[in-house]
Structures are given as C-alpha cells and as structure tokens.
Copies of this chain bind each other. A is one copy, B any other.
Amino acid sequence: MGKKIAALVTDLFEDVEYTDPVNAFQEAGHQITAIEKEAGKTVKGKKGQATVQIDKSIDDVNPSDFDALLLPGGFSPDQLRADERFVNFTKAFMDEKKPVFAICHGPQLLITAKTLEGRTATGYTSIKVDMEYAGANYKDEEVVVCQNQLVTSRTPDDLPAFNRESLKLLK
C-alpha cells in the first residue's frame, strides 16, 4: 500500500535532498505532496539543478492527511521555520510519532518545533551545536534512526542510507 508523504520545501533547498528521496519513495509506490505557502508556485534548488512545483498551500493541508513527513535541507528549512504554520505542521508528526525523514538542515524545523529533546539524531555539521542545545544526542553517522520513527542524515553523500532507512519505515 502506498503511503502519503508530505514534503516541506521552499527556495534554496538542497536539490538532491528533495529529488533523490522523492524518486526513491515514488518508485516504491508512495505519493509525495510538496507543501509551501502557495500552491502552484515553483521553488528552486540552491544548486540550480532542480525545481519543484508546489502541490498544496500549508493552509490547505492537515497533518492527519499524511502518513509521513520529508524535510530536505539546504536553506529551505530555516526560511520555513520563520513561519509557525510549518513549525506546527512538523510538530504534529513528531507528537503523533509518525515517520519523519530530515536531512542536512532539515532538523532546524525539529529544533524550532522543540521536538528533539531526548532524541538521537544527526544533521549537517553547522547545526550540530544547535541540535545538542535542543536536547538531541547528536551522532556523526550517515543515518540515525531513533525510536523507529525519526530518520536523520547529514549531507547528500548520505542519501543512499537515508533513503534505505526511510523506506523501511514506510512498509
């Protein structure tokens, strides 16, 4: 059975951290919904390689519509977390213990949602201290799976491990 996966993404996302997991999830039969402020808008990756057309506005979705959450990195998460609608949306998945897949700067949304306390996780090196202050047990590993629910990775190099562990939680 395909699962419904919400992806929060805006401009300056790390290109392959969106496209690579999304391709892997779609090949496995899952359905992705790209969410930003405005449906129909096209957002651009920071490397200029990828664009994403936004499927739904954050105002028109409910966490209960989805089985899992994807948070790609780059400078997208920091912009999204300045808007509490994206923070609250993220928090709901963590509170309900639904699968959350966050790579690179993706955990910035988890910090602002105050959902990393006591969790084991990784992320891009620049946010390591932020994650530790937020109560996370930071591991410098290609993928960290916490409580069979939260999958985190550090960089695009970790994508094979990130996709593999994320797909396991979608079975």
CA A110 to CA B40, docked complex, whole Å: 38
How many chain A residues sit at the interface, stated as a range, is 20 to 34
> Is there contact, CB below 8 Å, between B126 and A111?
no
Contact B124 A112 (CB under 8 A): no
Is residue A129 contacting chain B, with contact meaning CB distance below 8 A? Answer: yes
Q: Which of A18-26, A54-62, A76-84, A145-153 contacts B (4 or more CB under 8 A)?
A: A76-84
> Nearest Cβ distance between residue A106 and chain B, in whole angstroms?
14
In whole angstroms, what is the CA distance A140 to B142 when docked? 37
> Which residues on the B side are within 8 Å of A129 (C-beta)?
111-112, 114, 134
Which of A111, A128, A133 counts the most B-chain CB atoms under 10 A from its CB? A133
24 examples of A-B residue contacts, CB within 8 angstroms:
A12-B75, A75-B75, A75-B78, A78-B78, A78-B105, A78-B126, A78-B127, A81-B126, A82-B125, A82-B126, A108-B126, A108-B130, A111-B129, A111-B130, A111-B133, A112-B126, A112-B128, A112-B129, A112-B130, A114-B129, A129-B134, A130-B130, A133-B133, A133-B135
Q: Which 7 A-B pairs have the closest CB atoms?
A: A133-B133, A82-B126, A112-B129, A130-B130, A133-B134, A78-B126, A82-B125
A interface, CB within 8 angstroms of B? 12, 75, 78-79, 81-82, 105, 108, 111-112, 114, 124-130, 133-135
